[in-house]
Amino acid sequence: MEDSRGIWTMTADVDLLLRLAGSGVDWVALDAQHGALDRAALHAAGRALTSAHHPFLVRVPAVDPAWIGAALDAGAHGVVVPSVTGAGDAERAALASRYPPLGDRSWGPWSPMWGVDAPDTATANEVVRCWAMVETVGALDEVEQIAATPGVDGLFVGPLDLALALGTTVDALLDDVSPEGPLARVVAAADRQGILVGAFAGSPAVARRLRAHGIGFLAVTTDAGVVAAGVRAVLDELGPREA
């Protein structure tokens, strides 16, 4: 089980992203599905994080080759692809993540605009990571086929949406340690193909519960969570209000 600790961000504020990325986490995930990241903000964030040599992922809005290409053009080390409903979606995501002959990604990296050479296509194909999210009933039903899809480098669990799709709660999902439980099926499918398995935790407590399932590539907190926790820590250090 890989021990990799990241932070999930909704913000498009470049200064905050740089602070978070330089805080000791292994990677930052920029959320273009539910966060404030549009294509202009992606350009600014990619330039800043790439220039500072901070690894980052982008959760794209959907199984969208244009957005997958843009995220990688911005310097992302990988894409987290939501709304995967089966192996067909996973194949489209994987093809969009790599240049020919392994895929159909279009050439257009942004780094030359910043005065930085872009990696050649073979290098880019080797280092990129395409994560297929498992958060729908269809993805769970076809998790074995998704894991076996060429170019899919990891399965990424979205516990909130997966619980919603299954008509259960996140706590119940995490409590299910049976061999046929949803999380066990995802981990087993990834293990059989020798690919990674990750998940959104959002808090250290949930991260520990996911690790118990064998999931180690984790978004252990969020930008909002870190800011709120930091304010609470400062106020706690100051002590109670004086009467």
Query: Could you give the residue numbers annotated as active site?
Result: 34
CA proximity to 53, closest of 110, 10, 116: 116
CA dihedral (65, 70, 75, 76) positive or negative: negative
Strand pairing report for 217-222 and 196-200: parallel
Distance of alpha carbon 3 from alpha carbon 88, whole angstroms: 30
Joined together, the tokens standing for residue 224 give 């909002």
Strand pairing report for 78-81 and 56-59: parallel
Going from the C-alpha of 68 to that of each of 78, 86, 101, 106, the distances in angstroms are 9, 18, 17, 10
Joined together, the tokens standing for residue 238 give 């100051």
Task: Give strand pairing partners of 57.
Answer: 29, 78
Q: By the 8 A CB rule, do 75 and 49 touch?
A: yes
Residue with tokens 């820590």: 233
Distance of alpha carbon 102 from alpha carbon 71, whole angstroms: 18
Distance of alpha carbon 59 from alpha carbon 48, whole angstroms: 18
